[in-house]
Structure formats: C-alpha cells, structure tokens
Structure 1
C-alpha cells in the first residue's frame, strides 16, 4: 500500500491554503519536491487544481497537522485506513463433471435459441467453449446438429443463474444503446426468442405431411 496520499497535488494545495506547514513538510507528506510545492504556492504549478482536504477523506488527522505545525522538523504520517477492503480472490473456473461436458453443445443451443442477442464472445466465456462451435450451432452446421436438444446451462451446471442473467442483461442494454445511436449493423434485427421458436415450429409443421389430404385421397381412390 502506498504511504502517500491520493491526488498529492490537490492535497498539497489544501495544506498550503489551510495550514502553517513548511514546504518541506508538505513535500514530504505528498511525495513532491519542495520546489514543486513552492511553485504551487506561487501559482506557477497546478493552476486550477482544487484543494482536497486530507482530514475529511481520512488520510490525515488534525492532531498530526498540529504536531507538525509545532515542530518544523516533524514529518507527518499518513493515517491508516479505518476500513480494510479484502482483496478479491481470483475467480476459479467452474468444475464441470466429465459426464456433463458432452452436454455443452445443448447448452449453447439453448442460449442461441432463447437469447440470440447474446454475442458469441460472451457465450464462449460463459460456457467455456469456442466461437467456432457457437457459430456452427447458430448456422446448424455443427456435426451433431440433428441430435442437439437445447438445455438450460444453469441446470447443466455450466454457469450460475446470476452469471446468465447478467450476460443477457448486458447484451440487451448494449443492443438498446446501439439502436438508440443508430449504430446497429444492417440486418442485425434479432427476433425475440418466442418468435424464433415459433418460426422453427412452423417450419417443422410445414414439412410434415398433410394427413387430411392423405386420407381424402385414400377415400376417393378407386377400388
């Protein structure tokens, strides 16, 4: 942790204007050169910089300033933080059982079908897969496309519900921003998931044989 205050020049401005400290004392506390502090006092350095009170942001105490004002040889010490912010642990990769890893394409298919607005790079990071695999599933050129069954990646254990919701929300916000700015790429008119699903069902229905016509023809055939 640094033993110098945040925004040292702004802190020096405040100390010059509000205390009787020497340039050397201010320079030592702020990590500046005494001549630089003198330049600030003369208005040649840090022009327009607004002073920051180191007392209100818990970097210095009034007692410490008074002690230094009474003894020009005293050097002030930065106050210790009252609240210690723990360091964030590096996020560990989610363990996926070997038996479930073969279900990854199904998880990809689920997101592609239900949330087509989520970009490939986000899906890749979320599910630990490659952009090539995602693209193949989007374009139905994946080697196992015919047998894929879209399945919720949360249920399969590939990600948490929170991570999935965040990915979907960010994608929606980004798309809304691009639309508002008129920067949405031409042709990028993503349909809602229910529309996509309905289209797929309609396609399957249209490809099925018309049983009414079959039975009608059967009834009208000659014996």
Structure 2
C-alpha cells in the first residue's frame, strides 16, 4: 500500500486536526498504533510541524469525514495524476574534481590489463575522451611521468558490475589468447 509523503508529520496533523482513531491513522501512515498514541501523548515527534494531507492532495475532506463516522473504515490515499519523474538516462556522469586526476591512472590500468576493450568502452567506463586514452597509450599525456596504473573500481570511477558488463560484451575474436592447461602440462613433461 502506498504511504503518504512524510508519514510521521502527516500523522501529527491527523492526530491534532481530526477525530480519527489511532488504528486508522497508523494504517494510513504506515506506523504502529502505539507510535501514533505516543504522538498524541506528546512523547514522539515533539515540536514536529504537522503536514496537511488535504492541502498536499493526498486526502480529501470527504474521505476524512467518511472515516471519522465509521471507525472500521480505512483512509485511502488519492492517486496522483502528476507525471512521475523520469529516471536519468545513461549519459555522461559527473566526476568530482578530486577524482579527475585519477582518470589517467585508471585508463593505464585498463589498457594494461584489458587491452581487448575498445576505446569507446573505456570512454564509457571511465568517463573520458578518446584523445586522452590515446595520450596515455602513447605516453604523450601531459602528466605521463606520474601515471601509475590503478584499478578504476578502487578509484571509484566505475563499479565492478559496469566493468564486468564491458568485459562480457567483448567479442571472442578480440580476447587475447590465453595458454591452455594442456599446453602447460606438455611443457612440464618435456622439462623432466
């Protein structure tokens, strides 16, 4: 069941301004009956300003009056016809100033440990540009002498999940060849 905005402040207003039972207020606000009783006794939410659910469009005066007349009735939250906020799309994200200097270190680590990643994938992971990646790769970056390869997840520039997703999307043809276990056993047998 959806709860009202700021449930405790709404409960304070309902206790002070209506004749609703503690059970009705508790059910509407998602609180325990004893917590609503403590609000009424002045033990909880002391000094809290009540939030008017009628003014906020969460209840109507008629709904409150209906429930005041019938103690078994429950308040129903009004459905909002306002548009819901749209989740932020995956676009460039903000990198704090203190972490911007860590980007070349993360780029160097990705180039060294995962050369199969494309420049576009590194751009997306770290939030950098292709010229910066090329400058780190060619060691022509303005701060090349101070760049130390460091893990981008530990630097906080991307999450482990994002890194794993980028690595899993790399085509097999771009993956570096890894020695198989069979070839290492043959080398071991020939050495004896």
Structure-1-length-normalised TM-score: 0.45
Q: Where do 1:135-146 residues align within 5 Å? A: 137-139=141-143
Over 3 Å counting, the alpha-carbon distance change for 1:89 and 1:50 in structure 2 is: closer
Larger Rg: 1
Aligned mates of 1:139, 1:84 — CA distance in 2:
48
Aligned mates of 2:140, 2:68 — CA distance in 1:
72
Gaps of 5+ in 2: 93-98, 105-125, 146-192
Deviation at 1:54, TM superposition (A): 1.0
**What is the DSSP-based 3-state SS (H/G/I as helix, E as strand, rest coil) of the residue aligned with 2:35?**
helix
Contact 2:136 2:144 in 1 (8 A): no
Q: Which residue does 1:70 correspond to in 2? A: 69
Q: Which residue does 2:21 correspond to in 1? A: 22
Structure 1 stretches of 4+ with a deviation exceeding 6 A read: none
Over 3 Å counting, the alpha-carbon distance change for 1:22 and 1:140 in structure 2 is: closer
Contact 2:20 2:68 in 1 (8 A): yes
Structure-2-length-normalised TM-score: 0.51
Aligned mates of 2:74, 2:12 — CA distance in 1:
18
Gaps of 5+ in 1: 94-117, 142-223
Deviation at 1:89, TM superposition (A): 5.2
Aligned mates of 1:59, 1:13 — CA distance in 2:
15
Deviation at 1:20, TM superposition (A): 1.0
Over 3 Å counting, the alpha-carbon distance change for 1:56 and 1:127 in structure 2 is: farther
Query: Deviations along 1:123-176, whole A, 9 cap, x unmatched?
Result: 94142766x9298512366xxxxxxxxxxxxxxxxxxxxxxxxxxxxxxxxxxx
Aligned mates of 1:78, 1:8 — CA distance in 2:
12
| Alpha-carbon RMSD | 3.3
Q: Which residue does 2:101 correspond to in 1? A: 120
How many residue pairs align between the two structures? 117
Aligned mates of 1:138, 1:24 — CA distance in 2:
68
